[in-house]
Structure 1
Amino acid sequence: MTASRRRAVLAVTTAAAIALGATACGDTAQSAPSPDAAIQQELDAVTELGIPGAQLVVTDPDRGTRVLRAGTGNTATGDPIPDDARARIGSNTKAFVATVVMQLVDEGRLDLAASVEQYLPGIVTGNGNDGSRVTVRDLLQHTSGLTDYLAPGGAKPEDVKPGQLQIATSTEPVGHYTPAELVKIAMSLPPGPAAKDEATYSNTNYVVLGMLVEKVTGRPAAEEITTRIIDPLELKDTYFPGSGETQIRGPHARGYHRMGGQQVDVTEGDVSWADTAGAMVATGADLNTFFAALLRGDLVSQDRLAEMKHTVPFDRGPKDEYGLGLVHVHSSCGKEIWGHGGGIPGFATSGGVDANGLAVTLTLNHIPMSEDSVDAAQRVVDAAMCAD
């Protein structure tokens, strides 16, 4: 895997261009595998590459929701991933944050072209960082140039130790961080190049956006996400962890991460270091509901949705583009797919929604750490989106 694809712990995982087709046949012909059987074959292949367990949730407007799974959700007991398993959804959190920001734009309370300095004076400053040169749109689209507090200088996540953060480098507790402390880590580092026509993924952008939401609304971003998205859509298994909360509520798989050559259970932990860049928890079904609602225009105006879908190339996938909290994923069958994806130690999620409302979410209980496992995970999503 290239350094650019491994750069941040909260990585975006997106669908690749490989699909399995199924053909109808007569009584005398040998039966081709059903679409779900073909998808299951790809799902099984993921767990043959070092990922303990995989779950795919498919929500079809015509067929409802169905769940496919492979491998194990708990390597100690051998239990499978529960059908209604909650998981840490990593950078999918960014799509929730972006939606709230765009709602505030709809309400006339935020201006995408306004500078961060206008809303958060003195927050983005020092070592060449200048909030007067960074707009709200830049934060949403990762064109700000702000260095990632998790992976300064393009370091691999297993090598990252910015400030006192030690994410995916130690079995010791990481500690509790406030958004201001995370941004302070980023501000201790010089910014990178701020190309307005190419996104350079940085978790710092979305931590600043969370602070901006709180400044404008007077309430924490987690509360705004809850009242504006989670409650109206009745996402009963989706939540933003409370301060210091370390457990995952409800049914869930164990999450694993490879450290020092060993596979370590990292299910529990304070994920305040992820904050509005990636701390949320949800089920695959809830993620499907959220992205389908967003892409239908149920959560933001059509004008705002069109802006969210205005993309630039970005450094996480040569074929995909980044909008304002949305990723445009190219499929093997030519479908236009929108989603996000996320990775956080212990869990990885990917998926998307097509123009007809078909939504899929793949959840793994280990971040793919090799090119082969990344590709295998992408094939699952593509097969599900392109199945007949």
Structure 2
Amino acid sequence: MPTLRALLAAPLVLTLLALGTASLPSEPHLTPASSYLPRLVVEGNAPAAAFLSRRDHPTPQETYRSAGPGIRPGDHFRAGSITKTFVAAVVLQLAGEGALHLSDTVDAQLPGLIRGHGNDGRRITLRALLTHTSGLYDYTEALPATDPAVTGAAGPSAQPLTPDTAVRTALTRPPVTAPGTYAYSNTNYVLLGLVVQRVTGHPYATEIQRRILTPLHLTGTTLPGARSTLPSSHSRGYHLSPGDGTLRDVTTTGPRIAGAAGEMVSTLADLTLFYGALLAGRLLPPAQLATLLNTRTAHGLYGMGIYPQKLSCGTTVWGHNGRITGSYVRTAATRDGRHVLTFRVNTDTLSDPGLEPALLEAEFCRPPSP
């Protein structure tokens, strides 16, 4: 499953949340996923998590459950690679407007930028960037374990990695696959951020704000750039130190590895509303939405900033996950956008690999409420 970067697991506590258009009930509705709660409770100052789902059929429903202190429904958190879905939506809007074509090469948009060690921007299209079939090396894999982006340190030396630096880092290595083969790489979306700026004359963050956040009233979502603090309210974020195995508080973090590949800060409600609106066709015309969800280029593994997952009951959900220092988040939705689930953990990685599939199965494979 795509991640921003593979990081070490840490213990956690789970909070479950489900969202619709009604107000939050005082007594949360329990789902089969709640059976996971006892397994995830740990002693001491442990991380926590949150789960949110929106069901619009037959009537909108909203549910919230917490299994441990520290997370509130409206908390802000780092959304990591979920940023990619927003970037892909902007690129496809620009394609629909004729401002660019997915068959354009990277070199046509960013002349001379991709050269060296077998990398050639004249052979890589925007479609390949969107679907992770460019073969470009993932620059985050070259960051040392002592880098603040990995350790969670913040301070004067923890400045954001610029897009140009990220690309130069990727170009120190040859392609990881032949063109046309799926290989998840954050470098692809850093380049797409540069393409958006070249085509529009505005930073990608400005275009995301103008085209998505403002129209959908996603007031809890920001692209913070160099800012290392989280807006109020927020819970703590934790990272398991690779050196001594201690659980570190990394709430204030220099977001060095993110950029257009994963810098976004958001809330459970905003992400749920975004994916519902995207899949319902509120952001893209039908042709562009079909292109977003077309997985043929990536051999069924990935669309454009979004990927499918087929569950045991036959339902296929669409969404993305995001992993960045101190945070893990996953959003999944039915194809029509009427049923959306978001959960997040304020640590880098789920300690129980069975948690995510169990939550998806419990939410999307259970019978609908009467």
Which TM-score band applies after superposition, normalised by the shorter structure? 0.7 to 0.9
Distance 1:49 1:325 in 2: 37
Match in the other structure for 2:19: none
The C-alpha deviation readout for 1:16-61, integer Å capped at 9, x for no partner, is xxxxxxxxxxxxxxxxxx9724222234534459972111111121
Paired residues of 1:47 and 1:54 also in contact (CA < 8 A): no
| Other-structure match for 1:39 | 33
**Total equivalences in the alignment:** 340
1:275-286 correspondence runs (5 A): 275-286=259-270
Q: Give the corresponding residue for 2:22.
A: none
When residues 6 and 311 of structure 1 are mapped into structure 2, their CA distance, relative to the original with a 3 A threshold, is closer
2: CA distance, partners of 1:10 / 1:107: 39
Shift of 1:100: 0.2
Which of 309, 314, 317 aligns to 1:337? It is 317
1:363 paired to 2:341:
no
Q: Does 1:114 align with 2:97?
A: no
With normalisation by structure 1, the TM-score equals 0.81
Range that drifts further, 246-255 or 373-382: 373-382
Is the 1:247–1:267 Cα contact (8 Å) retained in structure 2? yes
Asked if structure 2 preserves the Cα contact closer than 8 Å seen for 1:326 and 1:340, the reply is yes
In structure 1, how many angstroms separate the alpha carbons of the residues matched to 2:364 and 2:41?
20
- Match of residue 323, structure 1, among 284, 303, 313: 303
Deviations 1:60-91 (A, max 9, x none): 21233322222342xxxxxxx01111110000
CA gap 1:60/1:95 in 2 versus in 1, 3 angstroms: same
Stretch moving more, 348-357 or 132-141: 348-357
- Determine if the alignment matches structure 1 residue 71 to structure 2 residue 51: no
What residue in structure 2 maps to residue 56 of structure 1?
51
CA 1:194–1:43: 2 relative to 1, 3 Å: farther
The residue type equivalent to 1:71 in the other structure is G
Inter-partner Cα distance in structure 1 for 2:199 and 2:354 = 41
Shift of 1:193: 1.3
Provide, for residues 145-184 of structure 1, a one-character-per-residue CA deviation record: whole Å limited to 9, x for no partner: 00000114xxxxxxx429x955324646533221111111
Shift of 1:369: 5.5
User: Conserved in 1, the CA contact under 8 Å of 2:160 and 2:257?
Assistant: yes
CA contact (8 A) 1:35 1:387 kept: no
CA RMSD after TM alignment: 2.6
The reply on whether 1:222 has 2:201 as its aligned counterpart is no
Q: Secondary structure at the match of 2:65?
A: strand
In the TM superposition, 1:1-388 aligns within 5 A as 8-9=5-6, 36-47=30-41, 52-61=47-56, 62-73=59-70, 81-152=71-142, 160-161=143-144, 165-169=147-151, 171=153, 173=155, 174-196=158-180, 198-241=181-224, 243-259=225-241, 260=243, 261-312=245-296, 321-356=301-336, 357-368=338-349, 370=351, 373-388=352-367
Q: Structure 1 residues 313 and 209, CA, compared in 2 at 3 Å: closer, same or farther?
A: closer
Structure 1: 4+ residue segments shifted above 6 A: 4-7
Matching residue's letter, 1:38:
P
Structure 2 distance, partners of 1:236, 1:64, is 22
Separation in 1, partners of 2:129, 2:62: 34
Aligned to 2:12: none
SS at match of 1:322: coil
Letter in 2 for 1:359: V
* 2:50 partner SS: strand
Letter paired with 2:170: A
Cα drift, residue 367 of structure 1: 2.0
What is the one-letter code of the residue matched to 1:42? Y
Q: What amino acid is the match of 1:350? A: R
Could you tell which deviates more after superposition, 353-362 or 57-66? Answer: 57-66
CA distance in 2, matches of 1:191, 1:302: 34
Q: One-letter code of the match for 2:332?
A: G
Using the alignment, how far apart are the partners of 2:79 and 2:253 within structure 1? 14
- Once the two structures are superposed, residues 183-211 of structure 1 have per-residue CA deviations (whole angstroms, 9 ceiling, x without a partner) of 11111222211342x42100000000000
Indicate conservation of the 8 Å contact 1:65/1:285, yes or no. no
Q: Which secondary structure does the structure 2 equivalent of 1:67 belong to?
A: strand
Q: Deviations over 1:322-349 (max 9, x none)?
A: 1111110111221121101111111101
Structure 1, unaligned runs of 5 or more: 12-33, 74-80, 153-159
Q: What do the CA deviations read for 1:303-322 (whole angstroms, capped 9, x no partner)?
A: 1111111115979xxxx721
Tell me the SS of whatever aligns to 1:52. coil
Q: Point out where structure 2 has 5 or more consecutive residues left out of the alignment.
A: 9-27
- TM-score, normalisation: structure 2: 0.85
- By relative contact order (CA 8 Å, sep 6+), the higher-ranking structure is 1
